[in-house]
Amino acid sequence: MNVKRFQVKPGSTVHLEAFDPDATPGFKDKQDAADDLAGNLAKLAALQEKLYAQGTQALLVVLQGMDTSGKDGAIEHVMGAFNPQGVQITAFKVPTSEELAHDYLWRIHKAAPPRGMVGIFNRSHYEDVLVVRVAKLAPKKVWSKRFEHINEFEKMLSDSGVRIVKLFLHISAEEQARRLTERRETPEKQWKFNPGDLKARAQWSLYQRAYEDALGRCATPWAPWFVVPSNRKWYRNMVVSQVLVDALEGMDLEFPPAVENISTFEIPPAG
Ligand code: AMP
Ligand code: MG
């Protein structure tokens, strides 16, 4: 599938209303996408092994989205294809007092994936221009400078061999209502029900505007943003898997050369 249509053009103004969270172009239903998804998951496993073996580059996947948009689900169903040994997942929560005593990128930079690894950010430095802006945790003169910081920071990572892809899991307000209700009603899901999320929902439009600015101002050639239609979980998984396959396939991954004259090594009897 071609995911170009979901990529935000650098320098563009984003209108989220123009992106349909129900859209499933290319596939009729979950059944229809099943083989392609399985194929992508197999590719991800093989590509990751090369990334790890090569050990010179890293992949950073940034996951953002409103509550219930499926960040955890994408990690489970797509990143689950990777060998856990080569993956480093970081969930960014409300900053601790130690984190708050530093600049906002301090905790982010520490979590950047080392060479050979896939790093997954469940939320990220983008919270510092999203919740910080909407909940007024810092004044505009503070957060408005951050788009530029972020672009420069991501450029530095990219120049250091970290390939970056950023995914905004786009759901509708109606779909969020369904998912929050399901969380409230289902015993196995109630642990995820956080009354604080209802406050963010009440500020839905403000968050959508904040996302539009973050997506538009930080869509760069070195760290592209994708708007992933996420009302259908199967389609979300399909798109996320394709973005990751494309990113890894674009990285010139090769196994490192074997030791010289490998075939001349005799395996000795165990001593
Ligand atoms: P969850 O992803 O459901 O575990 O929730 C994590 C919470 O931490 C969300 O409400 C985020 O908005 C919040 N959070 C993450 N990063 C920041 C930040 N830099 N400043 C304030 N709140 C944050
Ligand atoms: Mg939550």
Q: What is the pTM of this model?
A: 0.98
Choose the residue to mutate in 75, 104, 127 for probing ligand 1, maximizing ligand atoms within 8 Å of C-beta.
127
CA distances from 19 to 24, 43, 130, 171, 217 (A): 11, 28, 19, 10, 17
Best residue among 68, 105, 131, 193 to mutate for probing ligand 1's pocket (most ligand atoms within 8 Å of CB) is 131
Quick check: 108 and 125 in contact, CB under 8 A? yes
Structure letter (DSSP) for residue 127: G
Determine if ligand 1 sits within 6 Å of the CB of residue 154.
no
Using H for helix, E for strand and C for coil, what is the string for 149-174? Answer: HHHHHHHHHHHCCEEEEEEEEECCHH
Helix axes 204-217, 146-159, angle to 10 degrees: 50
Measure 71 CA to ligand 1 centroid, in angstroms: 13
Query: How many angstroms separate the alpha carbon of residue 74 from the centre of ligand 2?
Result: 14
Answer whether 92 contacts ligand 1 (Cβ < 6 A). yes
Using alpha carbons, select from 230, 174, 173 the residue that is nearest to residue 203: 173
- Residue 181's pLDDT is what? 97
- What tens digit of pLDDT does each residue of 89-139 get? 999 999 999 999 999 999 999 999 999 999 999 999 999 999 999 999 999
- Give the integer Cα–Cα distance in Å for 212 and 234: 24
CA 155 to mean position of chain CA atoms = 17
Amino acid at 145: K
Q: Is 193 in the pocket of ligand 1 (CB under 6 A)?
A: no
Please state, in angstroms and rounded to a whole number, the distance separating the CA atoms of residues 185 and 131. 27
Instruction: Provide the residue ranges of all domains of the chain, joining segments of one domain with +.
Output: 3-251
Closest atom, ligand 1, to C-alpha of 125: 19
Q: 63 CB under 6 A from ligand 1?
A: no
Residue segments in the chain with a per-residue pLDDT below the cut of 70 = none
Among 67, 92, 103, name the best residue to mutate to test ligand 1's pocket (greatest count of ligand atoms within 8 A of Cβ).
92
CATH topology of domain 3-251: Rossmann fold (3.40.50)
